[in-house]
Amino acid sequence: MSEEVLTEVDNGVLIVTINRPEAKNAMTKAAAEGIAAAMDRLDAEDDLRVGILTGAGGTFCSGMDLKGFLRGESPSIEGRGFGGIVQAPPKKPLIAAVEGYALAGGLELMIACDLVVAHKDAKFGIPEAKRGLVAAAGGVMMLPDQIPERVAMELALTGDFIGSERAYELGFINRVTDGSALDGAKELAAKIAENGPLAVRVSKQIMKESRGWAMDERYDKQAQLIGPVFVSEDAREGAAAFAEKRKPNWKGK
Give the SS3 label for residue 19: coil
Q: Would you mind telling me the total number of residues written for the chain in this entry? A: 253
Number of helices followed by number of strands (H, E) in the chain: 10, 11
Q: Is 128 a catalytic residue?
A: yes
- Considering 3, 108, 217, 237, which one is annotated as catalytic? 108
Q: Give the integer Cα–Cα distance in Å for 74 and 28.
A: 7
Cα→Cα distances 99→17, 30, 59, 119, Å = 12, 22, 5, 5
Distance CA 157, CA 215 (A): 33
Distance of CA 241 to the CA centre of its chain: 31
Check if 209 is active-site: no
| Count of Cβ atoms closer than 10 Å to residue 251 Cβ | 13
The H-assigned helical ranges of the chain are 29-44, 66-70, 105-112, 139-146, 149-158, 164-169, 181-193, 197-209, 218-230, 233-243
Catalytic residue among 73, 99, 128, 187: 128
The CA-based angle 67-125-76, given to 5 degrees, is: 45
Q: How far is CA 120 from CA 100, 166, 178, 185, in A?
A: 9, 10, 6, 14
Active site residues: 108, 128
